[in-house]
Amino acid sequence: MIHTETRTNTNNIAINPDVFTQHEHTGLDQHLSQPILRDTGWFGMSIDTWIRHIISIHFNHVHGSQYWLQKEKTLGIHARRDISSLDDLHILGPMEEEDLRRYPLEHFIPTIYLKNKEELILGETAGTTGLPKVTAYLKNEFYMTFVEWFRYIAVHRGFPCAANWLWVGPSGPHIIGKAVGPVARSMGSMDPFSIDMDPRWVKKLKPDSLGYKRYLDHIIDQALDILKRQHIDVIYSTPPLLLKLAESMNFKQRMQIRGIHYGGVAIGQEHLKMFKTDLFPNAVHIAGYGNTLFGLCMEITESQNGDLNYYPPGPRMVVQVVSTKYSIQPDKNRLTHVVEYGEKGQVVCHRFDESFFIPNMFERDEAIRIAPTKEVQSLGIYQDGVRNPSLLNGLEANTKIGVY
């Protein structure tokens, strides 16, 4: 048992900034003595209550984040007084994406957590919109965000347990590569069979070049070698890589796949239909939408009509959809123009973690705003979701997607 000190913040919320209490659990729903989703400090809490808690940490004048304390001075605000709800976040303006590249990582982490750096797990982006950005998660935040959140939904969806996984994607500094092993083990599997890919190198190659084709062939050949020698039940990969792999797999290999998890690149409706009906008809298919900086929105319920509905593990992650009627560029005023349910707009993400605070990040995607269904709410998720995210028209020139 890990003993921790619990303190209370200015909003009278009992918080534990280091680790969540571990319990002895049995079965996959309470796996390997790890904390489960309902053990988090934020599960089932209102967005505004959790935001006040996060603001109280990052804007604490003694133990807060250097970056956000400086931002408070620059804007001439009193964050802990002026920001008490999601609606107030526009006061901070759009998140400056370049600041995540410009400043040292430590500037964004509250100094109270820098006293125990061994508790931090780092992750770097693939450089889709430029030079890579780096972020950090406390160990318990990392586990809840990238491991337990998947397990929680996968069990609900009937994803196969105690199965052999094949992971085809990046490792190294990428958060997805750090999470895949714990994710597989949380489902009762051993460590996955893995093929490494360097997405930054792939992005430097032109898709029609010989170097690009040879590199992908190299990745697929390694995956096929594993499939020849090893019974594989679950494949976790990006849609483009999975499609290329599926084209090289034989019928028997494809029919034995019982679980597919998509990551790295948003999957289109037509590709999902092809994967589900033609290529891997015996599998449970679960797609995710997110990134290293924020975490993952999950496809909580299986699509019945081809739409892909994603919901965040709120309130630590919140997604909004704002109007693109007059602009697609980040702007403070646009943050208040959230579209109605069923309408399409630009995705704005917010991350509310004790270790890292990223509000008002304008994403490169557009999507339809959706409300949480009764089934979603029955799982303790009450935040808005997004439907069918895709690259926003007008931003294609600034984005290099490829296979990751």
pLDDT, one tens digit per residue, over 225-257 is 999 999 999 999 988 899 999 999 999 999 999
* Structure confidence at residue 201 as a pLDDT band (50, 70, 90): confident
Q: What phi and psi, each to the nearest 5 degrees, are found at residue 58?
A: -75, -20
Structure tokens at 107: 């500037």
Model confidence pLDDT, tens digit, residues 53-83: 999 999 999 999 999 999 999 999 999 999 9
Confidence of residue 404 (pLDDT cuts 50, 70, 90): very low
Show the CA angle centred on residue 57, arms to residues 96 and 50, nearest 5°: 90
Burial of 249: CB neighbours in 10 Å, binned 0-12, 13-18, 19+: buried
Q: Residue 3 burial (CB < 10 Å; 0-12/13-18/19+)?
A: exposed
Residue 364 host element (H or E): strand 357-370
pLDDT above 80 for 280: yes
Of residues 322, 378, 382, the one with CA closest to residue 347: 322
More confidently predicted of 306 and 401: 306
Residue 148 has pLDDT above 50, yes or no: yes
Burial class of residue 193, CB neighbours in 10 A (0-12, 13-18, 19+): buried
- Whether residue 403 has pLDDT greater than 60: no
pLDDT 10s digits, 373-394: 999 999 999 999 999 999 998 7
Separation of CA 368 from chain center: 18
Identify the pLDDT of residue 380. Answer: 94
Which positions ≥6 away from 85 have C-beta within 8 Å?
Answer: 47, 48, 51
DSSP state of 117: G
User: Parallel, antiparallel, or unpaired for β 193-196 and 385-391?
Assistant: unpaired
Of residues 3 and 39, more confidence is placed in: 39
Average pLDDT over every residue of 312-335: 95
Helix, strand or coil, per DSSP, at residue 30: helix
Are the C-beta atoms of 16 and 9 separated by less than 8 Å? no
How many residues are present in the chain? Answer: 404
The number of CA neighbours under 13 Å toward the Cβ of 178 is 19
Instruction: Name residue, tokens 């990428």.
Output: 174
pLDDT of residue 17: 37
Give the mean model confidence (pLDDT) for residues 303-316: 90
Residues whose CB falls within 8 Å of the CB of residue 276, separated by 6 or more in sequence, listed in order: 283, 285
Structure tokens at 138: 């406390």
pLDDT category at 396 given cuts 50, 70, 90 is low
DSSP string, 177-221: HHHHHHHHHHTT--SPEEEE--HHHHHHS-TTSHHHHHHHHHHHH
pLDDT of residue 401 exceeding 80: no
The stretch 359-376 carries a mean pLDDT of 96
State the average pLDDT over residues 352-358.
98
Domain boundaries, given as residue ranges, for the chain: 27-307
Q: How confident is the model at residue 5 (pLDDT cuts 50, 70, 90)?
A: very low
Q: CATH assignment of 27-307?
A: 3.40.50.12780
> Tell me, what's the pLDDT at 33?
61
> DSSP 3-state assignment of 43?
coil
Mean pLDDT of the residues in the chain: 88
Partners of 342 in beta bridges: none
> What integer pLDDT is reported at residue 129 of this predicted model?
65
- pLDDT cut 70: percent of the chain above it: 88
pLDDT at residue 27 tops 70: no
